[in-house]
Structure 1
Amino acid sequence: MDPIKDAVDHSHEHSPEDVREDCEPTPEGELALRLIPTRSETNVHGDISGGWVVAQMDHAAESVASRLAQGRIANVALESVVFMSPIRIGAAVCFYTRLLDIGTSSIRIAIEVWTQNPNEVERRKVVDAVFVYVAIDETGRIRRVPR
């Protein structure tokens, strides 16, 4: 037993099975929405508007949240929205959703936005976000999420 060798942190080391050079990044979650934005969705710089992207993320996530809540829901928070790179006109934009947590009345959903430009094979993750919804009744009051 070598005390110096045992004291060294080996947690950063990977076995050959952990690292593959041919790995492509893959979206986490299920495809909830796929769109090809038009010129009307661009900002003054010719990229797709961040506001348009956030609105589409809300549509994708709210369809999941309303199904889980079995009824009306309201978006109460955007915990985080991180834009990683601009989206170019003509790119296919895919919205992937993943359930993070269901509380008494709330539902947290992660959303990843990926793009694929025309005539390219490579996909890119361009936005990462977490949205929070609450279940509401017909009068708009908060209610429990059915289990």
Structure 2
Amino acid sequence: MTREPAIRTAAMPADTNANGDIFGGWLMSLMDMGAGLIAARRARGPVATVAMDGMQFHLPVKVGDEVSVYCEITRVGRTSITMAVEAWRRHRYEDEQHKVTQAVFTFVALDDNGRPRLVD
């Protein structure tokens, strides 16, 4: 089965922490951006992140690694969308990918006044 990433980018030197690995906050932000794209498409309008649960880092990401974020909607509520989000890395000269982290993100659909609205 081939799945398409919600977002894909290369990890750059500016994204590193004091140890020289990619900063976990950068990775979390990338996951939020990718998941937000999917949630907004499903909600057919603006969404806001309201929760992120269960994030665990399995492997470090290095400068130059390709990072792909995959999302799967697991629940659609009246005003919310919950999804499983995974981040995978691939060394720039290799084909094999490795999962580096995952989390559950929850978004709420917003109306024009920034208040929760029903998800279509």
TM class by shorter chain equals over 0.9
User: How far off is 1:83 after superposition?
Assistant: 0.8
Contact 2:81 2:108 in 1 (8 A): yes
In the TM superposition, what is the alpha-carbon distance from 1:30 to its structure 2 partner?
A: 3.6
Check if 1:46 corresponds to 2:16.
no
1:143 to 82, 103, 117: 117
Equivalent residue for 2:48, pick from 54, 59, 74? 74
Give runs of aligned pairs for residues 44-123 of structure 1, distance below 5 A: 44-123=18-97
Query: For each residue in 1:103-147, what CA deviation from the matched residue of structure 2 results, as whole angstroms up to 9, or x when unmatched?
Result: 01100011111111122232100011110000111111111101x
Structure 2: 5+ residue stretches without partners: none
Greater length-normalized contact order (CA 8 Å, ≥ 6 residues apart): 2
**Contact kept in structure 1, 2:11 and 2:62, CA below 8 Å:** no
AA aligned to 1:112 is: E
Give the whole-Å Cα distance in 1 for the aligned partners of 2:50 and 2:4: 22
Q: Is the 8 A contact 1:95 1:113 kept in 2?
A: yes
Q: 1:17 is matched with which residue?
A: none
Structure 1: runs of 5 or more not aligned: 1-25
How many residues are paired up?
A: 120
Once the two structures are TM-superposed, the CA of residue 87 in structure 1 deviates from its matched residue by 0.4
| Identical amino acids, percent of aligned pairs | 38
Decide which structure has greater strand share: 2
Flag the structure with larger Rg. 1
TM-score (norm. length: structure 2): 0.94
> What is the root-mean-square deviation of aligned Cα atoms in Å?
1.4
